[in-house]
Amino acid sequence: MPNKLADESSPYLLQHQNNPVNWYPWGNEALQRAKDECKPIFLSIGYSACHWCHVMEHESFEDEAIANLLNEKFINIKVDREERPDLDQIYMNAVQILTGHGGWPMSVFLTPELKPFFGGTYWPPQQRGQMPGFTQIIEGVDRAWVNRNDQALAYADELTEKLQRVGFGKLDDNQSLSNEYIDAACVALENNFDFQHGGFGTAPKFPNAMNLELLLRCWTRTENQTLLDMVRLNLDKMALGGIYDHLGGGFARYSVDARWLVPHFEKMLYDNGQLVDIYLHAYQVTGSKLYEQTVRDTCDYILHTMTDPKYGCFFSTEDADSEGEEGKFYVWSKAEVLDILGHESGETFCQTYDITERGNFEGHNIPNLANPLENQNDFSKAKQRLLEHRSKRIRPGLDDKVLVSWNALMIQSMAQAGVILNEPRYLNAAVQASEFILKHMTKSTEGESLRLLHSWRHGKAKLNAYLDDYSYLANAYTTLYECTADSQWLDQAVALTETSLKHFLDRQGGGFFFTSDDHEQLITRNKDSFDSSVPSGNSMMAYVLVRLGKLCNNTQWLEIAEQTIQNSAVVLQRAPSGCGQMMLALDLLLNDTQELVIATDQEGEQNELRQQLYSGFIPRRTIAYINHAAANSTANALSELGKTRTLIDNQTTVYICQNFSCQKPLSNRGEIKSAFDTMKASFP
């Protein structure tokens, strides 16, 4: 008989609905039962594409004996970390304090007051080497709760106090923000860089788009060629390696080895959104055909596989496993390739893509390249035939829930790809997903301009949105405005920012809370300062406030951004490589920004000028559009700007300001192009 998860919408929770464990979703029923029965809570947090979550489910949660122990001793709650990142942050901090490391599945034991007192990640059902068995853990925690209850409660109180102190540390009064923080971060990244294979550290290796973006922007300021070389090597190796799907497009979550060959095969929307961004910017700088093709194939993968065909919103993840085996969908034998392509074509393909009889992964083959193809179209027909064959295999599971924050990362990159690559399909996809969020993932609240809901699946939106949702979407809508000149997107970005300031800003301690002031009350109201696989909410909020502050000439937002960065300065000092997005906010705050205004009554000329701007990488700039021909076409936040940025001699006119100093208005097309070209980052 299904347990209490059967009525949930999360694919991850539904995966566990037939476990013999008496699972509850997080909610009043389970929490009240724990209090009424004075029982501790076993909290298990994971996500649908997590391989070791599947392993622990199969080994332990499907085991009748273990399930009986859990049901007898605890109130068992299952949480999808992607739906409830607020709970995930709090209890992951607890696990890291308890064990020195974290990960998923996350397993935490709580008092009925939700205070953690023991936890870890994956445990096998029985002891394995030095790893204790889950059965031992259950029995040990139960003995501690029954026989040493006072000690357990006291430790839970102590640990909760530590969790409530997790946050920021301000700079000393005699210190100030400067580019030295950014330069120190770049030195730290260089010291940890693998100059043979690209990437940071050793195996496993994760794509880190935020730090690569930071290196690229720092190169434009310092002209330190090493920084650009690091970016190019990293992007080359990932695009050529097995972490990239050479047949279907898109990147896997991470590489288990140092040379990007063997991926952890799950594909996450947020990774691909961020990687499209950095590959686009590197393409603007270098003109690399490899980068262009990587972006196109990744965007096409998202549109083909990860986009709702009816609504145009983006799904969350594709699993690593199919038929219970990680990577089975993606690997090949040489005989299989020869059979599909024929001997001559197949041998050429195998030699090029490292496919051998012995195999490069557990007797199978993961396609990868040693060097970029001279002609990206050389193997297009062969890849298409292999892809058609692969499509007949049992595909990995798809988590089709829609998250505002992750959609925003993809909207941001799709919009830019549409303009930079002159591909309307991508820009249209960004607009469609944006419209979906406004129509289906907002809620009406009296006196509020715009409130979001975090998650949507199968027609139902739920859960109060988090700081990530507001900050990522404000940034994406600002980008969409710059890519389309549609004023509604800037107006929406401003509304999201105002809501964030009202409901998330810590007016006493500075910075932003992860949850709103009307959110469910938990044991602490967390502030996140470290980036994880996605930017921290505080760093993205700081970036948005700088970006919109400069675009809309709002000095108050710039001041709040500076305070937010100041509040994370201790983290910037101690762990600069873990704060890439906050460093990007600092870079935008401190360094000269080209503030561009395009005043026109000719849509064609406006589009042409935008295309010129996006043909190269301008790392720090804002774009505003003033249309004097169409009523209500200028964003509300720019209404005052429209009074002074007028047409010269009734011609399209470009205004360029920088560091509180404005150049003369330009209406001559040759002069405008020359000015744009001067701004673009280039290398010898």
> Looking at 120-129, 220-229, 307-316, which range is the least confident one?
120-129
Quick check: bond before 204 cis, omega within 30? yes
Q: Decide if 355 contacts 337 (C-beta within 8 A).
A: yes
Round to whole Å and give the CA distance between 290 and 374: 9
The DSSP code for 517 is: T
Alpha carbons within 13 A on the beta-carbon side of 526:
25
Three-class DSSP category at 384: helix
Check: CB of residue 254 under 8 Å from CB of residue 206.
Answer: yes
Note the pLDDT of residue 630: 66
- Give residue 581's pLDDT: 97
Q: Determine the number of helices (DSSP H) and then strands (DSSP E) in the chain.
A: 26, 20
Helix, strand, coil percentages for the chain (3-state, nearest 5)? 50, 15, 35
How far is residue 683 from each of residues 284, 285, 294, measured CA to CA in Å?
Answer: 11, 7, 21
Whether residue 173 is predicted with pLDDT greater than 80 in this model: the reply is: no
Mean pLDDT of 70-76: 97
Residue 76 tokens, joined:
């068992």
In percent, the amount of the chain with pLDDT more than 90 equals 85
In sequence order, the β-bridge partners of residue 267 are 318
505 has which bridge partners? 512
| Res. 1 pLDDT band, cuts 50 70 90 | confident
Residues 280 and 295: beta-carbon distance below 8 Å: yes
Rounded Cα distance, 215 and 226, in Å: 9
Q: How far apart are CA 120 and CA 65, in angstroms?
A: 21
Q: Which tokens hold the place of 645? A: 């940025």
Q: How far is CA 679 from CA 101, 285, 592, in A?
A: 44, 12, 11
Q: Which amino acid is at 227?
A: L
> How far apart, in whole angstroms, are the C-alpha atoms of residue 48 and residue 82?
9
pLDDT at 322: 87
- What's the whole-number mean pLDDT along residues 385-402? 96
pLDDT band at 624 (very low <50, low <70, confident <90, very high): very high
**CA dihedral sign, ordered 34, 35, 37, 39:** positive
User: Please, what is the Cα angle at 84 between 78 and 90, to 5 degrees?
Assistant: 90
**Res. 423: pLDDT tops 70:** yes
What number of CA atoms fall less than 13 Å from residue 416's CA on the CB side? 29
Phi, psi torsion values for 623, nearest 5 degrees: -125, 125
pLDDT at 447 over 60: yes
pLDDT value for 375: 83
274 pLDDT band, cuts 50/70/90, is: very high
Structure token digits, residue 24: 């509850």
User: Looking at residue 571, what is its pLDDT?
Assistant: 86
CA distance 644 to 666: 14
Residue-wise pLDDT tens digits, 537-576:
999 999 999 999 999 999 999 999 999 999 988 888 888 8
Phi/psi at 577 (nearest 5 deg)?
A: -75, -10
**Cβ proximity of 49 and 266 under 8 Å:** yes
Scanning the structure block, which residue is given the tokens 């589009």? 607
- pLDDT value of residue 577: 87
Residue pair 367/353 in contact by the 8 Å Cβ criterion: yes
Look at residue 683 in the predicted model and tell me its pLDDT. Answer: 67
Q: Are 45 and 104 in contact (CB under 8 A)?
A: yes
Over 90: is that where the pLDDT of 76 sits? yes
Alpha helices, H only, 207-246:
209-222, 225-240
Least confident of 41-50, 135-144, 329-338, 370-379: 370-379
Q: Is 100 exposed, middle or buried (0-12, 13-18, 19+ CB in 10 A)?
A: exposed
- When mean pLDDT is compared across 163-172, 459-468, 483-492, the lowest value belongs to 163-172
For residue 84, give both structure tokens. 């409830």
Give me the chain's average pLDDT, please: 94
Model pLDDT for residues 347-389, shown as the tens digit of each residue: 999 999 999 999 999 999 999 999 999 887 889 999 999 999 9
Q: Which residue has the higher pLDDT, 360 or 662?
A: 360
- For residue 2, the number of C-alpha atoms closer than 13 Å in the C-beta half-sphere is 11
pLDDT band, residue 42 (cuts 50/70/90):
very high
564: β partners = none
| Other beta carbons within 10 Å of 340 | 17
Q: What's the average model confidence in pLDDT over 334-353? A: 97
Report phi then psi at 437, rounded to 5: -60, -45
- Residue 631's pLDDT is 59
Q: How far apart are CA 5 and CA 416, in angstroms?
A: 40
Alpha-carbon span 284 to 618, nearest angstrom? 9
3-state secondary structure of 597: strand
Domains, the chain, with CATH or none: 4-164 (3.40.30.10), 179-317+404-587 (1.50.10.10), 321-398 (no CATH), 594-679 (3.40.30)
Under the banding of pLDDT at 50, 70 and 90, the label for residue 659 is: confident
> Would you say 527 and 504 are in contact if contact means Cβ atoms under 8 Å apart?
no
pLDDT band at 105 (very low <50, low <70, confident <90, very high): very high
Ranking 21-30, 51-60, 377-386, 625-634 by mean pLDDT, the lowest is: 625-634
Query: Is residue 419 within 8 Å of residue 614, measured between CB atoms?
Result: yes
Q: Rounded distance, CA 285 to CA 97, Å? A: 42
197-231, pLDDT tens digit by residue?
A: 999 999 999 999 999 999 999 999 999 999 999 99
Query: CA 157 from chain center: how many Å?
Result: 33
Residue 416 has pLDDT above 80, yes or no: yes
- 349-381 exposure pattern, b = at least 16 Cβ within 10 A, e = fewer: bbebbbbeeebbbeebbbbbbeeeeeeeeebee
